[in-house]
Structure 1
Amino acid sequence: MSGPFKVAVYLYTNADILDFSGPVEVYSTRPFDGVGPFTVTTFAHHTPIKTDSGALEYNPNTTFAEIESKIEDYDILVIPGAAFDVIMNMIKSEEGKQLSALLNKFAASKPREETGKRVLQSVCSGSILVAASGLLANRTATTHHLGLDMLKQVADEAAGGQSNINVVRKRWVDAGTTDAGVRIVLAGGVSSGIDTSLWVVEQVAGKQAADWAAEIAEFERRDAAWGVEA
């Protein structure tokens, strides 16, 4: 196993709590007697970040500009979702345009020699933000089951016509790699982000690390086929 793998998690106002806290929990798991295979950094355009429920506020580790300037140093980039109106407003905003540029920059960056792996991971409607960047054309993709039509619409709009996206309803989808060798992995709704993160851990750090993270979280892993094809 190579590593440590550096994880960057994007936070934004009204993002769903479990969409980002689930992956952070998984990637933060470490052995009792040593360091874990991942380091996690949260970043945002603003601080603090207020959640949709109003129950919590978060202070991310660093700024969007700081991560953008060195995104090639990170191995895993996590994009959480939110309510669909929040997502659409994000896409139209200046922050959304900056995020789209960051996603494309990350997807075009070859994996670091130290790790040999690079993963773009979305959770829930976060895949719609990925679609808005144009990265899901000609790929199989998923999102929260209530947003499957929106996912296709946004992907088509980003392509300026037909994106040829294949939208399915699954817990997660391995959408393949970019020309640079960056794997795109898309989770379905909310808790699917935990299943997806454990799967990513297994792919980059090995089954033992993934099983340990699931054991510590007392989480019963489910596979991608759980759900109904759309």
Structure 2
Amino acid sequence: MRSQIVLFDGFDPLDVIAPYEVLYAGGTASGEAFSVELVSAEGPREVVSGTGGLALRATAALDPEKADLVLVPGASGRVGEPGEVPDEVDAGQRTQDEPIPVLLGRTLTTELPTLLKAAMDRPEVTVAAVCGGSLVLAMAGLLEGRHATTHHLGLDLLEATGVHAVRARVVDDGDLVTGAGVTSGLDLGLYLLEREIGPRIAHAVGELFAHERRGTVWRHHGPAPAAL
């Protein structure tokens, strides 16, 4: 299974590294049944995160025709209001200390929304998101009517885009799987391993990282709960 994790200017490093390590370990534990690579909409390049200028290298272009799993991270920056416009900054300072809504919204000016739509139009491709990655998809108009989660500070914005926002750590909506806050990338990665390869692989990777998944994965199945 070929997995591609998307980098964009201002991405949150933990949203990327946590699922990357989990999926990479899952590939090792499964005899390379899983592969994972870092990509960008523009192709191979150094991509600067929103955390202290830390950069990671995208080794390939996002390719919905070849990927089985596409994972979108959120952004790292200061908490801001939707629609906030950043002050003018030099190119070398761009993405540093900018509001998260601005960083997420800037992805809409790139080829990323078109590529993500192509991925979501292919039912055999699973699209996943961590934290604000759900908002990237939602602001691109790709999640209307779907069930998804994001960081708790972004749930209202998610709902405002026509998404059924769920306050859960991981939400499985078929070919869309989303995680809440940044550390949920670990739980999301382990759940994807369990779902795609099996619980024994997921358990082995969880033991390797000394991490026990938190919460119940929310799915739109079963009776609705009565008021508690």
TM-score by length of 1: 0.76
State the Cα deviation string for residues 118-147 of structure 1 (Å, max 9, x = none).
310000011001112322211222100111
User: What is residue 47 of structure 1 aligned with on the other side?
Assistant: 45
Flag the 1:105–1:225 CA change in 2: closer, same or farther, 3 A: closer
Q: How many corresponding residue pairs?
A: 195
| Distance in 2 between residues matched to 1:216 and 1:139, nearest whole Å | 33
User: What is residue 91 of structure 1 aligned with on the other side?
Assistant: 105
Shift of residue 220, structure 1, vs aligned partner: 1.4
| Kept after mapping to 1: 8 A contact 2:5/2:71 | yes
Flag the 1:122–1:109 CA change in 2: closer, same or farther, 3 A: same
2:2 is paired with a residue of what secondary structure? strand
Q: What is the RMSD computed on CA atoms of the aligned residues? A: 2.3
| Distance in 2 between residues matched to 1:61 and 1:93, nearest whole Å | 19
Query: Does 1:175 pair with 2:168?
Result: no
2:37 is paired with a residue of what secondary structure? strand
Structure 2 counterparts to residues 42-81 of structure 1, below 5 A: 42-44=38-40, 45=42, 47-54=45-52, 56-62=54-60, 64=61, 67-68=62-63, 71-81=64-74
| Kept after mapping to 1: 8 A contact 2:108/2:140 | no
User: What is residue 119 of structure 2 aligned with on the other side?
Assistant: 106
Whichever structure has more helix as a proportion of its residues is 1
2:58 is paired with a residue of what secondary structure? coil
Identity %: 30
The more displaced of 51-60 and 200-209 is: 51-60
Give the ranges of 4+ consecutive aligned residues of structure 1 lying more than 4 Å apart after TM superposition. Answer: 30-34, 92-95
User: What is residue 152 of structure 1 aligned with on the other side?
Assistant: 159
Report the residue type matching 1:81 in the other structure.
Answer: G
2:128 alignment partner, one of 121, 129, 146: 121
- Structure 2: which 5+ runs fail to align? 80-98, 219-228
| Kept after mapping to 1: 8 A contact 2:15/2:131 | yes
Flag the 1:61–1:218 CA change in 2: closer, same or farther, 3 A: same
Shift of residue 50, structure 1, vs aligned partner: 1.6
User: What is residue 141 of structure 2 aligned with on the other side?
Assistant: 134
